[in-house]
A and B are shown apart, each in its own frame.
Chain A
């Protein structure tokens, strides 16, 4: 028995799923994976796939991020559907389809997946695709590190989803507040799955943050000063700054919670001096900047989309930059507004309340700048612009309810109610999600060489917008009526109609996602009609449109020399050709490397070992990780050369 225990830790058959919903998922997910792998084998695409996944080309890494994020969007959405299906029926004597424990795991998974694996995934995906092109350079500063980041992200995602098959997920909410998530109340592996999937994905995010930050500071096309960068690049600069200051706090906090759970420490326990409120402080010192980390790239995308589709340069560029920087600064001194009810006292609450309200000012500056950019522009209402229209309306509404809740006295009334849930979905769906969908629509031709079907894109935006309103407006009302968040059962039948409307709204959002998937298929089918032959399908303004679609591995044969903020527009106006940038010379690009995948595998096994207390696995995978890193670090032969002749040939074809 002891031998077995040493070998497999605390794993046992009791941890297999035993509820219909989880059994279904536990069978469905591996089957889906098998089908995909079967198709790859059938079409003999293994070599192609391997070359793709080991590539260090930022654009390919970006595509992988986006693919993972879209799959996870479907997962997170089915969680949302389950949550609202439950609350639509479980009133009074009726119980819903899910047990309380399953319900708790579902809302925890919903929040965790949507933030970490959908929003973060889309964000890093779009940055990878667009940023180097926009800066007029060939790649990010550290291409290999970029691949490690992605694969750590993927490992976190797999760990999070694997919990469905074996062991169950955390039931502690997306931020895992102790003491509920401490060993005393939660001895199973669920919380450990949550901790470690976030931990390794978080390390990946931190490395990405460093990578993009250095890319912007050190690698820009000649002539591109900071104040000549497109707004999207600015938004990435401030986002990565926040990321680098916030994510180490997450790493430290999760480590402390993990130490409590696996080493018997007392950071956040309710006995022996532990301080659960300290966790709440620490996690929000990361968590509040995190929401700005997500939304600022979306602001950047909208800035470029609006100016492109209005045929005008962005209104008030310096104020846009100042607003981004101000938001970056303020977002670090508002975290306490997540727990005004903690009892920090009137003066502390007043400070954080005022700072929270103040953030609305730079955000308002941005909204007005976008609107002024549109004013007297020749607006072309493409699908990317429809997402923007949905965004302005929805996000502004969410911002207003946010300012409402920044008043501590009012916040006491709605703290932890569905009002809050409605508010943050209002800004995250309206801001982050709509922004990233707009970005995907906008840059799709640059990634794949053909446009997405515009009609279906617009239909999807409409369905999302209507679905959002139906799903969340009732929650505002319910919150004011006193419905707390995360309930799986309630007694007041007058709430039921609101919950039913909300469930219908989630259904509409599902239709919106279905339309998007349909759009992908239709666009793929009609790709010859939607082909982008010029490399500049939207009459764009920034450098990513100066190269062919899809962009070559090296982005630009000769790095462009920058004259203006809207460099590509300037070039079109002044007739500057790529050949004016200088002679074609030999260039180097990074070779493929599978080490990122291997490191993610050993990192994932390390985490798995800690979750299940399999200590030999922890030791082995730790050593393996160190060896893999040393292998790469000591290897100086990681690049290959593309000669000038090859570049010229490719340009002629």
Chain B
């Protein structure tokens, strides 16, 4: 193994491990949500406010962004720089749309009097979903940085590794979202 490959190996492994620790963080929040989902303090429950079809739209957008992100990363590796640029840009657009939909839902809930302060259930809901949203925001900052770097540098071996790591992160957020969709919007939405 040459030095660059050894380093990429180390970094990839380290990043996988980091993602696993992030998974534990989300697991704590999921557990909290499940425990608090019926603690509505006489206010609204998941059934009243959570709309699975709205969340389905968000899911489709995010999953599509994962596809574009995956192809972008592969295209960059095979030095198809233009394709990578376009697909990364589409990924960013889809990410922003997802975030907009999520913010829209939050604002709607808060203005209807169902903010995070109203009950333990709502605290758990907002915290779990917004933690994912915060990760998406960080991912977007990262994607924009990479997009800029690709515009500047074109094909670059160091950058290939970084694009790969970003793709890993983005897929991870996708998986977490699928759990949020299932646990919060399907199970939580029924209770």
Contacts and interface: CB of A to CB of B under 8 A. Distances in A.
A253 B20 CA distance: 18
B51 interface: no
A470 to B, nearest CB: 41
Nearest to B6: A218
B121 A249 contact: no
B10 A219 contact: yes
Contact of B29 (A244, A252, A271): A252
A278 B32 contact: yes
A271 B119 CA distance: 9
A248 B117 contact: no
Which of A214, A255, A588, A626 has most chain B Cβ within 10 Å? A214
Interface stretch (A40-48, A292-300, A394-402, A628-636): A628-636
B24 A248 contact: yes
Interface string A344-365: 0000000000000000000000
A213 interface: yes
A138 to B, nearest CB: 12
Contacts of B35: 275, 278
Given A265-B116, A634-B145, A210 B17 contact: yes
B118 A272 contact: yes
B25 A252 contact: yes
Contacts of A265: 116-117, 123, 126-127
Contacts of A273: 36, 39-41, 119-121
B132 interface: no
B156 to A, nearest CB: 8
Contacts of B25: 248-249, 251-252
A70 B154 CA distance: 50
Contacts, number: 105
A282 B25 CA distance: 11
B13 A217 contact: yes
A626 B40 CA distance: 37
Contacts of A271: 41
Interface in B13-53: 13-14, 17-18, 20-22, 24-25, 28-29, 32, 35-36, 39-41
A218 B41 CA distance: 51
A363 to B, nearest CB: 25
A180 interface: no
B14 A210 contact: yes
A238 B168 CA distance: 26
A264 interface: yes
B183 interface: no
B158 interface: yes
Contacts of A269: 120
A265 B145 CA distance: 34
Interface string A259-274: 1100111110101111
B24 A249 contact: yes
Contacts of B13: 214, 217-218
A218 B9 contact: yes
Nearest to B115: A264
A263 B116 contact: yes
A206 B21 contact: yes
A245 interface: yes
A626 B141 contact: yes
A142, A206, A247, A267 interface centre (most CB from chain B within 10 Å)? A267
A595 interface: no
Interface string B79-92: 00000000000000
B124 interface: yes
A248 B116 contact: no
Interface residues of A, number: 42
| Interface of chain B: mostly helix, strand, loop or mixed | helix
A67 interface: no
B21 A247 contact: yes
Contacts of A588: 3
A20 to B, nearest CB: 41
B162 interface: yes
Contacts of B119: 266, 272-273
Contacts of B14: 141-142, 210-211, 214
A612 to B, nearest CB: 21
Contacts of B3: 588
Nearest to A588: B3
B103 interface: no
Nearest to B14: A214
A168 to B, nearest CB: 26
A119 B141 CA distance: 37
B60 interface: no
A253 B28 contact: yes
A256 interface: yes
Contacts of B10: 141-142, 214, 218-219
Nearest to A249: B28
B171 to A, nearest CB: 19
A266 B127 CA distance: 11
A421 B25 CA distance: 30
Given A214-B13, A275-B35, A267 B123 contact: yes
B93 interface: no
A267 B35 CA distance: 10
Contacts of A266: 41, 117, 119-120, 123
A275 B22 contact: no
B118 to A, nearest CB: 7
A213 B14 CA distance: 8
Contacts of A244: 17, 20-21, 24
B106 to A, nearest CB: 13
Contacts of B126: 265
A256 B120 contact: no
B115 to A, nearest CB: 9
A267 B124 contact: yes
B56 interface: no
A263 B17 contact: no
A273 B145 CA distance: 42
A21 to B, nearest CB: 38
A252 B28 contact: yes
Contacts of A209: 21
B175 interface: no
B149 interface: yes
Nearest to B117: A264
B119 to A, nearest CB: 5
B28 A267 contact: no
A259 B123 contact: yes
Q: Which of A217, A218, A260 has the most CB of B within 10 A?
A: A218
A256 B39 contact: no
A117 B120 CA distance: 33
Among B118, B120, B141, residue most surrounded by chain A Cβ atoms (within 10 Å): B120
Q: What 3 A-B pairs are tightest by C-beta distance, nearest first?
A: A273-B39, A273-B120, A252-B28
Interface of B: 3, 9-11, 13-14, 17-18, 20-22, 24-25, 28-29, 32, 35-36, 39-41, 116-121, 123-124, 126-127, 141, 145, 149, 158, 162
17 contacts: A141-B14, A142-B10, A249-B25, A253-B28, A256-B127, A263-B116, A263-B117, A265-B117, A267-B120, A271-B41, A272-B120, A273-B40, A274-B120, A275-B39, A275-B120, A278-B35, A588-B3
Given A252-B28, A256-B32, A274-B39, 17 more contacts: A141-B14, A209-B21, A210-B17, A213-B17, A218-B10, A248-B24, A252-B29, A252-B32, A256-B123, A263-B116, A267-B123, A267-B127, A273-B120, A278-B36, A630-B145, A633-B145, A636-B158
